[in-house]
Amino acid sequence: MDWMYMWMPIAGVNIFWPGLVLIGFSVGVIGGFFGMGGAWMVTPGLNILGFPMAFAIGTDIAHIAGKSMISTIRHSKFGNVDYKLGVIMIIGTVFGIEIGAQLVMWLESIGKVGPVVRWVYVFVLLLIATMVFVDYWKAVRKKKAGIVGEHGAEGITWYKTLHRIKIPPVMHFKVSGITCSAWLPIMVSFLTGILAGFLGIGGGLLRMPALVYLIGCPTHIAVGTDLFEVMISGLYGTFTFGAKGRIEIWAVFVMLCGAAIGAQIGTVATKYAKGYGIRVAFGLAVLACMVSIILKQFKFDISATVLILSAVGLICLYICVIMFKGAAEELREKRMEKSAA
């Protein structure tokens, strides 16, 4: 079985390469569907495969950059990427991350960084999950009451209130179909940037719901636009971690082979999923992430890893089912149309 192990010359370890392909595939599927990098899923997997921690994070970021590029290309062809909005949001994200990082440094100086960051992370994830499920519950009620908008029933519509604040310059984002003050996306990305910098995460987990609930992007466009941002920040992360010697480049190549297939499946699955299908599955993923952090906080490291990997497996399976069922139905309809003609 030696052929199943690959020598990683930089990290100096033998790695079970099908495991890398599988991790790349799963995160490709989930990332393409939810519009996030998914670092919280990859790092435990790389650790299990025997990657030294020093290389796990950098390798993970480089893989996320490549994977997001694949998903962005696909989402872009569907018309799911609002580049104008994405570029504007980068401004806020950059300044936000800097302030978040400074906050962490201050906490470090008073020796309270570990528990504070973890509990803030848990609180933010709980807030996102609650928001997603309350939104779903409200949307179901509205649908039953017959209150349906352009894209179907909507639960939480905070963005409508925020759109009324017309501080110049007011901009129109054609792809998202929204008109608002340019300060709205800048401020939202600034706040999510602070949180991302503070929590030490990429920020996709925070930006995707923020794009939906605060800026008013349709879910599909929020997913595509967020991936565009993840791609840019991921490429810069690749450079910084590469220059610090924390990337095992061969592992990135192997993982990308799996991610390339996974990202296509995840992205195409959004075509067959309703916005709320994506939101609810996202909420469940956030819940799994939250419980795993609580378990880690109480030193149940193995249980946390098992939970994360089980959640990744199940969500990945759910997305694959959506994609294959949807594609089969579409092809069947096309065949029927052809035979009728």
Residues 1-40 that bind another protein (CB under 8 A): 9-10, 12
DSSP characters over 132-166:
HHHHHHHHHHHHHHT--BTTB--S--HHHHHHT--
Q: Which residue number, 129 or 230, has a Cβ lying nearer to another protein? A: 230
**Token digits for 97?**
């991350």
Give, as ranges, the residues between 63 and 102 that touch another protein (CB under 8 A): 65-70, 73-74, 77-80, 87-88, 90-91, 94-95, 97-98, 100-102
DSSP characters over 162-205:
HHT--PSSEEEETTTTEEEETHHHHHHHHHHHHHHHHHTS-SHH
Give, as ranges, the residues between 129 and 148 that touch another protein (CB under 8 A): 139-140, 143, 148
**Token digits for 77?**
């062809």
Give, as ranges, the residues between 148 and 187 that touch another protein (CB under 8 A): 148, 151-154, 168-169, 171, 182, 186
Partners of 248 in beta bridges: none
Q: Which of residues 5, 16, 133, 239 is near another protein by CB under 8 A?
A: 239
What is residue 104's DSSP assignment?
Answer: H
SS3 16: strand
Q: Which of residues 38, 45, 204, 218 is near another protein by CB under 8 A?
A: 218
Contact between 327 and another protein by CB under 8 A: the answer reads yes
Q: Which residue number, 88 or 128, has a Cβ lying nearer to another protein? A: 88
Contact between 120 and another protein by CB under 8 A: the answer reads no
Q: With CB under 8 A as the contact rule, which of the stretches 39-47, 104-112, 295-303, 310-318 interacts with another protein?
A: 104-112
Contact between 209 and another protein by CB under 8 A: the answer reads no
Cβ(271)–Cβ(35) below 8 Å:
no
Q: Which of residues 4, 165, 167, 331 is near another protein by CB under 8 A?
A: 331
- Residues 6 or more apart whose Cβ sits within 8 Å of residue 14: 5, 6, 7, 8, 50
Nearest CA to 23 out of 62, 63, 57, 58 is that of 63
Q: Which of residues 276, 281, 305, 322 is near another protein by CB under 8 A?
A: 276
Least separation in angstroms between CB 202 and another protein: 10
Q: Which residue number, 44 or 258, has a Cβ lying nearer to another protein? A: 258
